[in-house]
A and B are shown apart, each in its own frame.
Chain A
Amino acid sequence: DAKTTQPPSMDCAEGRAANLPCNHSTISGNEYVYWYRQIHSQGPQYIIHGLKNNETNEMASLIITEDRKSSTLILPHATLRDTAVYYCIVRIYDYKLSFGAGTTVTVRA
């Protein structure tokens, strides 16, 4: 699986959009980009995934660059409950996730 690089931490103001970057320059053509988050003392929670096209669901939007070497997760209106560790994962095998250290996002009032 391709390796991902994320900033270790970022702050966001409540009510504003949070843009979380992820680099995956060695991604191959059949690897998906996944985002999960983990709120303290809970298991990871699926957010969104995509292959080539931008994706949007009720939680977030995923923007993947045309060359697929990077992506951005957008939380459109961050709330205090969005404070969590966010993991960007690139995977080819459909049974194994390789979590890195993720980005610790702190939403401030």
Chain B
Amino acid sequence: DTGVSQNPRHKITKRGQNVTFRCDPISEHNRLYWYRQTLGQGPEFLTYFQNEAQLEKSRLLSDRFSAERPKGSFSTLEIQRTEQGDSAMYLCASSLGRAGGEKLFFGSGTQLSVL
């Protein structure tokens, strides 16, 4: 497999701007996840897709955040009106979706810095 690909690797933006990140999962994986990680902390779950359906969103995902997965392939995560508190590593993962006992494969993440 070619692994989970995330773009861009780094994004610097000014407060108030909109940003969009892209995730390309492993091709046969039907589940896709977004996590956020701040410095010194473990990753925190944001949202998850089964094919194109977004099945759960964390309370961490405010109204300024929106995620899509058209056609059940790649996914985008958009943050509108960015705030300095949005600065973090945004991680995408995918999996085959086996019941219990499945592995998540993570990408290398997009590091967002909001100035």
Contacts and interface: CB of A to CB of B under 8 A. Distances in A.
A100 B44 CA distance: 9
Contacts of A102: 42
B43 A94 contact: no
B45 A98 contact: yes
- Interface centre among B91, B102, B104, by most chain A C-beta atoms within 10 angstroms, is B104
- Interface centre among A41, A51, A96, A98, by most chain B C-beta atoms within 10 angstroms, is A96
B44 A94 contact: no
A101 B42 contact: yes
A1 to B, nearest CB: 11
Nearest to A99: B42
A68 interface: no
B91 A46 contact: no
Nearest to A95: B48
Interface in A33-75: 36, 41-46, 49, 51
A99 B35 CA distance: 10
A43 B6 CA distance: 11
B21 interface: no
B42 A46 contact: no
A51 B42 CA distance: 23
A94 B106 contact: no
Contact of A44 (B41, B43, B45): B43
B33 interface: yes
B101 A51 contact: yes
Given A95-B31, A95-B56, A46 B103 contact: yes
B93 interface: yes
| Cβ-closest 9 pairs across A and B | A99-B42, A43-B106, A46-B103, A95-B48, A96-B45, A44-B106, A99-B43, A43-B91, A43-B108
Interface of B: 4, 31, 33, 35, 41-45, 48, 50, 55-56, 91, 93, 97-109
Interface of A: 30, 32, 36, 41-46, 49, 51, 85, 87, 94-102
Given A44-B91, A45-B106, A51-B101, 4 more contacts: A36-B104, A42-B109, A94-B100, A95-B55
